[in-house]
Structures are given as C-alpha cells and as structure tokens.
Amino acid sequence: MTPDVSLWADFAVASAAIFAGSVLQGAVGYGLALVAAPILYLVDERLVPAPLLLTALLLTVSSAYRDRHAIDFKGLVWGTVGRIPGTVVGAAILAVLPPDRLAAPLGLIVLLAVAMSASGMRLRPGPATLLFAGLLSGIMGTTSSIGGPPIAMVYQHSPGDQLRGTLGGFFVLGCLLSLIGVASVGRLGVYGLCCPPWGWASPCRAASPPGSTVATPAPRYSQSPPWVASEC
C-alpha cells in the first residue's frame, strides 16, 4: 500500500504545533492552544476544540501538580465559578456553528487573545475580576480551546510559580467543564477521542509530553518573566 504522504505531512505539522505549544505552556503556564489551535484548524477543523482540549487537560494536570504549592485556591474558585456560565454560552455557540464555520470566530479569538496578552494591564485578582475573566475564558475555551489569556492576564504580574500553578489548576477544571459542554452539543464523539483514520490523539499525546519535558529545565522565575504578557 502506497503511504499517504499528505496524511503524514499533516501528522507532522500537528505534532510540531502541539510540541511548540507544550514547550511554551510548560515554561510559563499557558500558550498551548494559542500556538496550536490555528494550525490544527487549518490541518483539520475537527481538531478544534475537542481533541486540543483533551491534550491540554493531560498537560495541565502535570503543570498544576508541579507548582501546586503556589496555587491561589481562592482565586481558582472564583475563576472556575465564572467559567461555568461561559462554558454554557460557548457550547450554545458550538451548537449553531458547524466546524467549517468556526474559522472567523477562531481568528477573532486569536486576535483578542494576543491583544489581552500584550496589553500589559495590571489587574487585581479579586472576585469580580476573576468572575469576568472566568466567563470570557469559558466562552473562548469552549468554542476554540483558547481559554487561557483572560485568566493569564489577571495573574501575569504574579510570581512565576503562582502563575503556572494557578493557571494549571484552572485549566484542569476549565478543560473538564468545556469538554462536558462540547459533549452536550454532540461535538465530542468518537472523533474527539481517537480522531480517525490514524488517531489524531496520537500526535497530540505524543508531542505534548516531550514539549513539556523540554520546558521543565528552563529557568524557574521567581517572578513572571517580562515577556509573559506578549508571549501568548
């Protein structure tokens, strides 16, 4: 049987995108979806959001555990409470938009995410701020898997370990909520779990751990690095 060159080329592109996003996520606490989602959508629109959410869930569990000592649990609760209605809104959007119609919303979300990350605004992680950030994160994360920037914007001036740990904990809960939302509107299914014909979950799962491992030896900032706001 002649190998399908284009299929393996897509596999390589998807794996490279996941690897690059995982390196960034492992180093600063977020960035996987912002790097990978646009590329994966171009490869196959069905890869966003469910397969990428599954990948992010696997990666963020290790991130949250690694910096668990610095998690802001009070902030984590407020952000997660805000994410719940955001997930409902995001799922409602997915219910009316087929996968091939998500290009424009995904592009807008990427631009919004970059603008948030690059703004450099100083926000206090209080209840109202975190509720609103969680709401935005739920909408963005459920529709596109890019749910990090609103919460990251709140914590970007926090110590590095608190940034990574709190974002990791929030993403674990947020990914679970978004996956429930995606499943509730019939957009998870078998494709989201194994992605035929050769298992899109394979490049996602294969490239994510090495990327995270490469990032682990990176310098451990006691304060958030100055480029965090613009990196993702």
Between CA 18 and CA 23 the distance in angstroms is 9
Give the model confidence (pLDDT) of 129-168 as tens digits: 999 999 999 999 999 999 999 998 899 888 888 888 999 9
Do the Cβ atoms of 48 and 97 come closer than 8 Å? Answer: no
State the chain's mean pLDDT as an integer.
Answer: 80
Query: Quick one: pLDDT at residue 28?
Result: 76
CB-side neighbour CA atoms (13 Å) of 117: 25
Between CA 11 and CA 162 the distance in angstroms is 34
Overall number of domains in the chain:
1
Query: Quick one: pLDDT at residue 190?
Result: 55
Domain of residue 38, residue span? 5-231
The answer on pLDDT for 74 being more than 80 is yes
Residue at 231: amino acid letter: E
Query: Quick one: pLDDT at residue 217?
Result: 36
Q: What is the pTM of this model?
A: 0.83
